[in-house]
Structures are given as C-alpha cells and as structure tokens.
Structure 1
Amino acid sequence: RILSKKMQKDSILIGDCGGNIVVSNHAYETKYGQRNITNNGNSPMGFSFAASMGAWIANPRAQVVCTIGDGGFNMNIQELQTLINYKMPIKTFILNNHIYGITKAFQETNFQGRAEACGPKGYNPPDFAKIVEAYGIKTEIINKNSEIEDKIDEILNYSGPVVCDVNIHEHHTYEPRIFGWKTPIEDMYPYLPRDEFIKNMFIDPLEDWENPIYPDVVKNN
C-alpha cells in the first residue's frame, strides 16, 4: 500500500504470478494514468522481471516497478545483465517468503497439512543481495515493517536500477481463496455471512451453499 501511494501518476507496475501477485493486487491502488500489468492467463513464473524491461523500452520516460516472488526471480535472474547492458532504471521488489508460497498453501489445504518440495525443505532461495551486487546493481533489503517507507522513498528516488529483497514470513496466508476447486469463485474463504452472500447473488448458488467447506488446515487454525 505504501508503494502504491508513492509511485508516480504515470508509472507502470508489473506483477508476477503466484502468491506475490495475490499480495500485490490486494494492496495496490491503481491511480488514474497508471498501468498495473500481470499475466493471469497462464501464470508464468519470472514474467514480471522480463516484462518490466519491455515496458521500459516501450516507455522509457515512465517509472517502471516490478514485483516478483523469490521463486519467480530465480527463473530470470540472468536478465540482471540485460538490465545493466541497457541501463534500465527499473525498481524490482522481491517479495521473499523463502518458499513456493501458493504451492505450499494449496498442498496444506488439500493434503491434510502436508507439503513437499516447496520449502523450507526441498527449496531454498539464494542470497539475492549478493548475486545482485555481483552484477553491480544497487541492492536494498527490508526486514521490518518500520523500514518500508524510508526504503521505498530511497529506492524510487534513485536514478538507476534497484533490486530490493523484501523478507516476508513463510506462513503468510493468502485470502480470499477457494478450496481445491470444491467451492465456486464467487464464494471464497473467509466466507461472507450466508444471508449477505445470497442477497448479492444474481444467479442461483450451487447446491449446499448454506454449508461452506472448511478443510482441516483451516479448522485447526
């Protein structure tokens, strides 16, 4: 939300896929003249880093900001050299929860709390700051909420490219959400009161709408 408030009126935000786009789209408030772009069609990890470069080439006067997860950034990390070669002043924020967040959330919801190969076991992100510094690009790290506003000001006012590693707790919850495709997209958890839900429906709800599903992982929490 702070990033949203501080970006310029003609800026371009490019979001990646997975859990980080859930966070970004919930918090970001697009203002008149801004562009908020992502790829919801096939959710290609790493899309936003490459797409940000394309957006800047198309409009080099615009402030271009990229948000991406740690998993997605790994997919196109080699393009840091492209960033340097063409002197693109893109600001990249890695929303780093040290796991494949949306994958882990799906597994825990649908497999009785079990999760495999999505972190912290089976996957660990590298030290992004050291890698980015090796390319000669300015790096910032955010570890606390109290650091966010000052760091964002510094990053957005810097003339060249910046990559900021934003450390997020691995147990962040993605809401609203459906459960294993057993609930319709118009009836996501956390559920509306049933009277409010039915009052807002223009079509007949699915059968048994009065009794929404609560998987074990939610019941236990």
Structure 2
Amino acid sequence: MTMIAQDEIAALEKLEAHIRKGLGERIDDAVITHGELTITVAPEAIRDTVAWLRDDEGCLFKCFIDICGVDYPAREKRFDVVYHFLSLRLNQRIRIKVMVDAQTPVPSIIDLFPAANWFERETYDLYGVIFTDHPDLRRLLTDYGFEGHPLRKDFPLTGFVEVRYDDIEGRVVYEPVKLTQEFRNFDFLSPWEGTDYVLPGDEKADQADKG
C-alpha cells in the first residue's frame, strides 16, 4: 500500500479548503483518499465546477485526463460519472464525481475541454448516461445496432443480438443471440470437467472434509 506523506496530506487539505471556499454550496461532498482529493457535485453544477477548477489561480486544473462511469444498481442514483483532471501548477490530481439515475442527463463539458468528446460518447455507449448539448452523441465502442449498455451490472454476458455477414444478402445482419449449447453447471474446483468427473486428487479433498 502506498504511504502518503504528511506534507502531501496537508497540501490536499489546503486544496480542499480553497475549493470549498471558492465553490461553496456547489460542493456536495469532499474526501481525501489514496493521495487524491475527490469532490462530489450535482449534475447541474458540473460545468461551473470544471470551469472554476480550470481557471482559478489557486487550482489551474487545465489537463483533462478522462471521464468514466461506475454502476451501482442497488442505489437510486445508480451511476457515478467520474472526471479526472491534473494541475501542472500544483502537481496534483483531482477527481470529480456526479451521481445520476438512468434518466437524469449530465451537461457536456466539451466546449470547456474538447478532449472530453469521445470520453462522453464512451460513457454513453457503455453505461447509457446522456450528455446534454453534446454535438454528436453516438456509440463509440459498440456497433450502431448494438442493444443495451454492456458495462451496466445487469447486462447479460451473452448480450441480446449477434452480428454476422450474410453472403446471400451481401450485408451485415443482426439476429437474436442463439446459444449452441446449454450453459453447463460447473464444479468450480474442476471448471473444465463439470460435476460428473472427478479429477485425480479431488477425492482427497472430499475425504479431508469428511474427516
């Protein structure tokens, strides 16, 4: 585990105090973990927050790193949209989180950081989070005919459709997923063999359990 020096923690605490003073009630939460400051804001506050962190002389988080999503299906606001920025002036990173449900859109920040374009498209593609005022919010990593959002925790491993090229029709066609064989019930200790075959040595484990 990486140990964080006391002076680094002090610098992060100073940064947190400065941001709380500058952004005020727009900050819902702030926490320091693993040597990095994470702040949580409401969706409607994300643009003002990002712009302030970029332009404030005490921050200057001018380097956009990425945007990603996290899915917590048990929560009412099931998605975290997570932004990462770097300040070369401070030599520090910051993480911004926005919590939304499946219907709540998040304002786009690509006019503030054009590099966010594909990251917002990726988050939409894989999680289904909508970014308002995005000029071209299309799928990025999956096919345009893909159904659903594959990084949601409730998305089936098999997907919903399969894609193949049809020589007769001369085009790509989409069809419902067809499993050529049933899922097998595995004995997890011998996952390649199933439950009806005992690998040499497995019987010793059974005897040990009974003893």
TM norm structure 2:
0.25
Greater share of strand: 2
**Bigger relative contact order, structure 1 or 2 (CA pairs below 8 A, ≥6 apart):** 1
Greater share of helix: 1
Bigger radius of gyration, 1 or 2?
Answer: 2
